[in-house]
Amino acid sequence: MNTQEETEKKSKITIQSVDRALNIVEFIAKNNGNCGLSEISRSLGLNKATAYGLLSTLEQHKYIELNPETKRYQLGLYLAELAIRAENFLDVRTIAKPYMEQLAVKYAASIHLGIESENEVLYVEVSKYNFVLPIMCQINSRLPFYCTGVGKAILAFWPEDRIEKYITSQKLIAKTPYTITSGQKLKQELLQIRSNGYAIENEENQLGVISISAPIFSLNGTVAAGISIGLIKAILTDELKQQIIADILDCSQKISKEMGYKL
């Protein structure tokens, strides 16, 4: 068997239990969430014990819910949350890309777009023009919230209880001598960011590099992403900084508006 045949064979491999679980979710969705154990097992050709085990696992992960009165299964709220995240992810990339490219050309800089993913920043889009940071964030790379411009721009607009939970559960490890490692200092900075509407990360993740970031909001008013411009600190004059702040805020507001957010 040649390499291509092996690759094609591997791509067709499915895990039976995962396949069955996904079939159950799809079946419940198609039947408007009005499905009992017997109906699910019969329709999908599963014995009741197997069907019950899969349903219990899906219920534990909140993909489905069991109505205690009717004893019938319906889709769980977690699926709605995933759908919102997917919608934000797809929309924000498409909408933000032209604005990012404009900023990259104007400042000959690297522009980054990041979203929240498992208590980290996931970078989903990058635009650059004749300039690359020494250690540039690539698409799909992850970095902490507390020491990145995009991360702090997102974090500052979370509800207070969520910010508190993040700070108390997150170990603030120093990436450079300038990284904020005090929870109290981070709280103070987040309050300032919320007041200003933008975040500045000053050599906290990478020496010699500064980033200026702003949050992007979705239709429901929650922060969906953050956009940042990364520059070598040595070239950043006060005049240039103020100009970038104005442009990054203008950019984030336009993207938010296109996503349905009412300014």
Phi, psi of 252 (to 5 degrees): -65, -35
Work out the average pLDDT over 218-227.
91
H or E element at residue 149: helix 149-155
Q: What is the pLDDT of residues 159-170, one digit of tens each?
A: 999 999 999 999
pLDDT recorded at residue 133: 56
Closest CA to 133 of 108, 153, 105: 108
Query: Hey, what CATH class is 81-258 in?
Result: alpha beta
Report the C-alpha gap between 121 and 141 in whole angstroms: 8
pLDDT recorded at residue 10: 45
**Has residue 239 got a pLDDT over 90?**
yes
Residues found in the chain: 263
Report the C-alpha gap between 237 and 176 in whole angstroms: 22
Choose the weakest-confidence range: 129-133, 207-211, 253-257: 129-133
Closest CA to 172 of 224, 118, 119: 119
Confidence band, pLDDT 50/70/90 cuts, at residue 82: confident
Instruction: Report DSSP state, residue 235.
Output: G
Work out the average pLDDT over 183-199.
96
Predicted TM-score of the model (pTM): 0.67
Q: What is the pLDDT of residues 2-51, one digit of tens each?
A: 544 544 444 456 688 899 999 999 999 888 778 899 999 999 999 999 99
Report the C-alpha gap between 108 and 78 in whole angstroms: 41
CATH number of 3-75: 1.10.10.10
Phi, psi of 61 (to 5 degrees): -90, 5
Confidence band, pLDDT 50/70/90 cuts, at residue 99: very high
Domain boundaries, the chain: 3-75, 81-258
Report whether 229 contacts 239 (CB < 8 A). Answer: no
